[in-house]
Copies of this chain bind each other. A is one copy, B any other.
Amino acid sequence: MKIYLDCLPCFLRQALDASRMAVDDETKQRQVLDEVAKELPRIPLNSTPPVIGRKIHQIIRRVTGCSDPYQEIKQKYNRLALQLYPDLKKRVEKANDPLLMAIRLAIAGNIIDCGIKTSFNLNKEVETIVHQDFAIFHYSEFKQRLQETKEILYLADNSSEVIFDRILVEELSQKIVYVVRQMPVINDATMEDAHYAGMDKLAKVITSGSDAPATLLDLASQQFLDHFDRATFIISKGQGNYESLSRVDKPIFFLLKAKCPVIAKDIGCQVGDIILKGPSSSP
């Protein structure tokens, strides 16, 4: 997905959020904003949002000296999500269609996206998404292709979302290769979050090879590319992975909640919609 003009003010807003989490010093926060503002005119509009997001979070880390501004908020929501886990499992066990309920919950976890906002009511969001109609629902294709695959490449998005992903992974009989970011960026999932959620007991966990808040193939590690190239079934969680992979011709199922108007427009849905979008509908 290419950058829209709407992304430019949003980058600046995200930089302010992050710099406030990184340091209390308003002079440093201002310095971050100034450096990001100077970067904006250099952004080519044929780039993708996470390519620029990566640069901006590099500026934030450099100027503030804080390698992981979202550490505290990640820990908070990791704890809250883990507390929800037993309840989420019960919902799947009681569901008429456990796989579908697990997919819904994996999407519910996608709301914990600090690129958009930094406070969430998890219980309320889960309750909403459990009963929400999908705006795009390629579930038949998902189930059919699932029967034909032995291994799933599962691209993680946010840190606490890993606990929700675990619910879905536990419903899948295939071998799972679960991909987290190489380094902290926004509140995206890293190896530490995968371990916290116990994902390493259920899946082979690897990293993307980069600090991009997305799956940028140009920056990916050879290990990741080996898996990606031969993948027959890819689950891509969240907006960042959608932004970077929406035009890639691979068997990808995008699972996400549309949280920003630009992504909703690109997908052809409304903000707040939940999406299960399969490869047959891709360009």
Residues of A within 8 A of B (CB): 5-6, 8-10, 12-13, 16, 26, 29-30, 33-34, 37-38, 40-41, 45
Q: How many copies does the complex hold?
A: 2
Asked whether B5 lies within 8 Å of A30 as measured between CB atoms, the reply is: yes
Asked whether A9 lies within 8 Å of B5 as measured between CB atoms, the reply is: no
- Secondary structure of the A contact surface, majority rule: helix
Chain B residue at minimal CB-CB distance from A34: B41
Give the 9 A-B CB pairs with smallest separation, nearest first.
A34-B41, A9-B12, A9-B13, A37-B40, A37-B37, A9-B9, A8-B33, A37-B41, A5-B16
Cβ distance A166 to chain B, nearest Cβ, rounded Å: 35
Asked whether B5 lies within 8 Å of A29 as measured between CB atoms, the reply is: yes
The interface residues of chain B lying within 8 Å CB-to-CB of A33 are: 5, 8-9, 40-41
Known: A9-B16, A26-B5. A41 touches B38 (CB 8 A): yes
The interface residues of chain B lying within 8 Å CB-to-CB of A8 are: 12, 16, 33, 37
